[in-house]
Structure 1
Amino acid sequence: MTQTDITNIATHLPRMAKLQPDTTAIIFPKGNQRLTFQELDRLSDRICHGLIHSGITRGTRTVLMVTPSPEFFVLTFALFKVGAVPVLIDPGLGIKNLKSCLAEAKPSAFIGIPKAQVARLLFGWAKDSLKTIITVGPRLFWGGITLDKLIQQSPDQPFEMAITAADDQAAILFTSGSTGPPKGAVYSHGNFSAQVMALKQVYKIQLGEIDLPTFPLFALFAPALGMTAVIPEMDFTRPGSVDPQKIISAITSHKVTTMFGSPALINRVGRYGAEQGIKLPTLQRVISAGAPVPAVVLERFSQMLGFGVEIFTPYGATESLPVCSIGSREILGETRVITENGGGVCIGRPVDSIRVELIRISDEPITVWDDDLRVAPGQVGEIVVQGPQVTRGYFQRPEADLLSKISAPSGGFFHRMGDLGRQDSRGRLWFCGRKTHRVESVHGPLFTIPVEAVFNTHPAVYRSALVGIGPKGSQQPVICIELEQGISTSQEQLRSELLNIAASHPHTREISTILFHPAFPVDIRHNAKIFREKLAVWAAEELA
């Protein structure tokens, strides 16, 4: 292996520690905890020695259940440095999903806070495969060693980082499970490195910037990009319930230049900012992902930003990010009108490193790529992607690989995003919803995003969701409506007004059934992806 073949995502940290040793790498406003790049690098090196001594070495699958904290950062970089494979799962997936994910991953090590350790014992998580237990906090009755003890017993010396290639496993990241059982996407060191490079190029991120990441995994990109990460005081499993004052205080106090937030968080903070007339002059860019961001939410949040500052909405998934990106200026000035008339949500142009194709909609496996799979220009098809940030497969899920990967005759593969979209004459992609959420009625297919956008134009509607009742091919389309808070208009009047709106568009005029739901079930990761499968069950019961 030559020097140019060596790729370890952790190499970014020592490089930044040399470039700006005394610059703060992470700030935790709660408790006013700080670590410089040099301190973060040295502490992670020290932990590396302890991990090796504890049996966590190259290739060791290691569950990491630690809340966003200094320990979360140093442990993650230490695991990458030793060549271990962190297994990262959202705790909000639910006990049943967590148990099945961990049984599937078969980890040899478990690093967690006491609460996670108790849950591990109570529910028997990975009990047959675990050999090493490390607790971040006090150790009680479950054995193993505490992180503090591990650090005390380890030498404060540089650590020789594991030599890993671009294709070597770096981590297993489980999907949110918003459209089926969570699956473990296997990340290589090359995937992570390509993500860092793409984010830097697309958003023109500079050394020394200040980042406010409100999603733990995005927080790890900040030190790799040479940014100071300010970790806000919030419940990361409930971004839609965040305290806006704490987010705004963190931005103003630390002169944050970049912010990442889910659409639910952007909506909540934007509403508060509009009510209070707040301005955030230090922000140079805002990034929001996880689900389409309504134009009204972008418009509201933009009022807090300086002239020319945009909110970017990258498109991607756990398996591939970023794929495309678009800024709020283009959305509010041009694409919004098309979206509201049912043209889909514009997600921008593909980033330089990604190839995007649109293929015929099918629920069946496609083993080998063929150019004849492509749909005609402007037609809605399934989005497939190819590029260095695209993960090769899922951990121990050959059936999922079969459905999501297409071999390319010239080498490599395409990943089927499971999303539907179309491409316009200017090369921009327009997202039309998940493939599994399409409704197949007697009048033809209906796609969620173009249909819902029409109903979302009513000022009383917070969000809507299209679901289908009955067998494919003869499904009854039903629109579920979640109203804005404080709406006093009768449901019958609203139903009449919504049906009138639907009648004015060719793709919604056949929809005649509207149901009102108090609060849509949404994903735990971003509080923004609607669980349409659950809504479909509810709608069927309501109409029975």
Structure 2
Amino acid sequence: MTWHISLDDGGYEQARESFQWDLPEGYNIAWDMLRKHEDPEQPALKQAYPDGRRETYSFAELDRLSNQFANALTERGVSRGDRVGIIVPQKPANPIAHLACWKLGAISLPLSVLFGPDALQYRLRDSEANVVVADESVLGAVREVREECPDLTQVIAVDEENPEEGVERFEGVCAGHEASFEIADTEAETPAIIIYTSGSTGPPKGVLHGHGLWAGHCPAFSMYFEHSVFESVYWTPADWAWIGALGDVVFPAWHYGQPVVSYPMEGFDAETAFELCEEFDVTDTFLPPTAIRMMMTVDDPTERYDLSLDAICSGGEPLTPEILDWAEEQLDGVAVNELYGQTEANLLVANCREWFPAQAGSMGKPVPGHEVAVVDQETGERVPDGAVGMIAVARDGDPVVFQEYWNEPEKTAAASVTGPDGTEWHLTEDLGYRDEDGYYWFKARDDDVIITSGYRVGPGEVESAILEHPEIEQAGVIGVDHETRGEIIKAFLKPVDGASEGESLREEIRHLVRERLAEYEYPREIEFVDELPTTTTGKIQRRKLRAREHE
């Protein structure tokens, strides 16, 4: 079973009409990624480290290592449906832990190494995770929240030579266990992974997906990488905690039996990105727009580096014309294809130069296999071309559409609407329109999510962290336009009476947010105000703050 949309299938419209999902009975992600390949000894992971070390793992080796870890988890009481947190950067332990969970029917929980204690505590407690696999760099944060997570009984540390009492070494846990494992009886709908949203108007929501998720990404993967998904090498600098890295690159590449480059980069560096692309003959990459803009500052990249790039895909914010022009002029015509999706339903719309010309600023056209429309969010009725409505995707039979928000039945129900023809639509909360040529165009978010440097940030979580500071009485957080980062986070703050409103307080707040949440979530701009606009119930009116910013 390998989904590949060929150029010989009769073109884009024919591919859309003829495509059908046909996941086999007993489908399991780990089997798809590791055990179906004709040559399991071919490279799957090309691991690089900043200190110069290089390692290569075949599909067979990843299968054996994840078998050992699956046996270790089973020995420690992890069983079908249990949740396992994975807080590991681009290192082999990250996919090994995921694959082990899926083999035994457990649910993996990807979490960012950039999260601070507050962000980790909420997600681990909410998911009721039993085990955490944590990189050495985040053990301090895990230690801080462990007592507040009553279901968390075991911590397994990656690359920690001398773990403290109550923490086991990942390498030691794997060693000595059987290198074979019988994959659990699962189906495409069997719960497999929970990925948390950024949390726009409240706490982050746990998005539950089934085993069919990554296979569901493959038609889009084939599309935005210009159909050349075989004999390719893939890489992304994106955090392996997000659906935009795991789903846009890593697991679809392994579905097709192709190698992925892994490098735990601490902060994006454009020169390092070009060096990795040259060293490993990277042909296809997912780059957030912010990363592309940083790479655009490197002079004469094709003269300085021997590149094998064929295609770049990007998403999270519209691509501007200068990005397409840069790729055409500075990268000798490398295709740059925009893609669109979200944690709840990823890779719904994409561009493919071999099928239709890219329109700068357009999201592209719907990917075969996904019924996408612009609808009235109240009635579920399709709106006419050119009219703005909510972008939606039909739920029935689509493996990329989420199953539920974890322990949030009311929010799950609110994310759907049934149209007059009986179609049940998942509402993306993104507003846009479809033009007469079938291209989709993003207009605005229907929520308050901020997209900064490719990361989606919920302002509510940032506001809560800021309000932990004793000198702040009220906080309102919005995104403001930024040339390189797309948006940056700005905080409007009302201090308590008598507080000093100087630069020292600003730095204290930035430090607080970095420590409690994540490095990318701190407010780069802080404005102190006497009052914040609120509703009659006291809720901060962020739309008025945004309007004020544009006055």
TM category (shorter chain) comes to 0.7 to 0.9
- Corresponding residue SS for 1:385: strand
Matched-pair contact (CA < 8 Å) for 1:298–1:328: no
Distance 2:433 2:145 in 1: 45
Match of 1:262 among 288, 295, 312: 288
Q: Which residue does the alignment assign to 2:341?
A: 316
Q: Which residue does the alignment assign to 1:470?
A: none
Matched-pair contact (CA < 8 Å) for 1:90–1:176: no
Distance 2:105 2:326 in 1: 44
When structure 1 is superposed on structure 2, of 61-70 and 530-539 the one drifting more is 530-539
Query: Displacement of 1:214 after TM fit?
Result: 1.7
1:351 maps to 2:377? no
Structure 2 unaligned residues grouped into runs of 5+: 1-21, 241-245, 452-477, 486-509, 527-539
Q: How does 1:265-344 map to 2 (within 5 A)?
A: 265-274=291-300, 278=304, 281-307=307-333, 309-327=334-352, 335-336=359-360
When structure 1 is superposed on structure 2, of 274-283 and 531-540 the one drifting more is 531-540
Q: How does 1:68-217 map to 2 (within 5 A)?
A: 68-124=90-146, 127-136=149-158, 137-156=160-179, 158-177=180-199, 180-200=202-222, 203=225, 204-215=227-238, 216=240, 217=246
Q: Which residue does the alignment assign to 1:459?
A: none
Name the aligned partner's letter for residue 147 of structure 1.
F
Distance 1:383 1:540 in 2: 24
CA gap of 1:525–1:411, structure 2 versus 1, over 3 A, is farther
Distance 2:120 2:389 in 1: 33
Q: Which residue does the alignment assign to 1:474?
A: none
- Corresponding residue SS for 1:379: coil
Q: Which residue does the alignment assign to 1:499?
A: none
Distance 2:88 2:183 in 1: 23
Structure 1 unaligned residues grouped into runs of 5+: 337-344, 439-447, 450-477, 486-519
Matched-pair contact (CA < 8 Å) for 1:385–1:416: yes
1:375 maps to 2:383? yes
Distance 1:480 1:43 in 2: 45
Distance 2:69 2:188 in 1: 24
CA gap of 1:268–1:225, structure 2 versus 1, over 3 A, is same
Matched-pair contact (CA < 8 Å) for 1:256–1:283: yes
Q: Which residue does the alignment assign to 2:243?
A: none
Distance 1:178 1:163 in 2: 36
Q: Which residue does the alignment assign to 2:432?
A: 421
- Corresponding residue SS for 2:156: strand
Distance 2:102 2:479 in 1: 46
Query: Displacement of 1:537 after TM fit?
Result: 7.9
Q: Could you report, residue by residue, the CA deviation over 1:315-371 in whole angstroms, capped at 9, with x for unpaired residues?
A: 11111111111257999x7734xxxxxxxx31111011111122235xxxx5xxx56
Q: Which residue does the alignment assign to 1:24?
A: 43
Q: How does 1:386-425 map to 2 (within 5 A)?
A: 386=394, 387-407=398-418, 413-425=424-436
Distance 2:35 2:524 in 1: 41
Q: How does 1:428-439 map to 2 (within 5 A)?
A: 428-436=439-447
Distance 2:85 2:146 in 1: 14
Q: Which residue does the alignment assign to 2:276?
A: 250
Matched-pair contact (CA < 8 Å) for 1:48–1:81: yes
User: Could you state the TM-score of these two structures normalised by the residue count of structure 2?
Assistant: 0.72
- Corresponding residue SS for 1:321: coil
When structure 1 is superposed on structure 2, of 113-122 and 531-540 the one drifting more is 531-540
Query: Displacement of 1:40 after TM fit?
Result: 1.4
Name the aligned partner's letter for residue 382 of structure 1.
M
Name the aligned partner's letter for residue 392 of structure 2.
V
Q: Cα RMSD between the aligned structures?
A: 3.9
Q: Percent identity?
A: 23
> How many residues are matched?
447
Query: Displacement of 1:314 after TM fit?
Result: 0.7
Distance 2:484 2:23 in 1: 57
Matched-pair contact (CA < 8 Å) for 1:12–1:225: no
Distance 1:178 1:61 in 2: 24
Name the aligned partner's letter for residue 230 of structure 1.
V
Query: Displacement of 1:434 after TM fit?
Result: 0.4
Matched-pair contact (CA < 8 Å) for 2:105–2:186: yes
- Corresponding residue SS for 1:313: strand
Query: Displacement of 1:196 after TM fit?
Result: 3.1
Name the aligned partner's letter for residue 311 of structure 1.
V
Q: Could you report, residue by residue, the CA deviation over 1:114-147 in whole angstroms, capped at 9, with x for unpaired residues?
A: 3433312213465211123322233533414322
CA gap of 1:134–1:269, structure 2 versus 1, over 3 A, is same
Query: Displacement of 1:287 after TM fit?
Result: 1.0
Distance 1:79 1:480 in 2: 40
Matched-pair contact (CA < 8 Å) for 1:269–1:301: no
Query: Displacement of 1:211 after TM fit?
Result: 0.7
Distance 2:221 2:23 in 1: 24
Structure with more of its chain in helix, by fraction: 1
Distance 2:421 2:383 in 1: 21
Matched-pair contact (CA < 8 Å) for 2:116–2:518: no
CA gap of 1:172–1:480, structure 2 versus 1, over 3 A, is closer
- Corresponding residue SS for 2:192: strand
1:10 maps to 2:27? no
Query: Displacement of 1:224 after TM fit?
Result: 2.8
Q: How does 1:498-537 map to 2 (within 5 A)?
A: none
CA gap of 1:404–1:115, structure 2 versus 1, over 3 A, is same
Name the aligned partner's letter for residue 28 of structure 2.
N
CA gap of 1:211–1:66, structure 2 versus 1, over 3 A, is same
Name the aligned partner's letter for residue 391 of structure 2.
I
